[in-house]
Structure 1
Amino acid sequence: MHPVSIVIPTLNEAEAIGAVIREIPPAYAGDIIVADSGSTDGTQDIARAAGARVIEAGRGYGRACALGAAAAAP
């Protein structure tokens, strides 16, 4: 399988995001993008430490999904 961009919209997911990112098989993950909706619990730092690229998406799940998709590699 060819690597793909994976977009994960988040809001205060510090407890789980590191494990979620680490569980993605490296052969599949060309680019892991965490589109964060303003987390206040350290989600962004944990995601970066686990190897994801973090974008600040502002508030809203739909907005996070759309901005994450726009940031994905073509």
Structure 2
Amino acid sequence: MSHSYHVYILASKRNGTLYIGVTNNLAARIFAHRNLRGSAFTKKYRVTRLVHIEPFNDVRDAIAREKALKKWNRG
């Protein structure tokens, strides 16, 4: 079964700035980030290294996971 949505985490470098997002076209989204067109945040902080992917069939589950990850403290 093919997954329609992905939660992904990008990093600027090891232990650097993180960006968490949801997409239904992972390849295009990562390409955009790497070419500094993904978001103003990733462009400003050069967050382009893909470090984690989680597949989901339902966008609601993907969004819930994204929100949970954004509350996570790597302390």
Normalised by the length of structure 1, the TM-score is: 0.43
Q: TM-score, normalised by structure 2?
A: 0.43
- Which protein is bigger by CA-based radius of gyration? 2
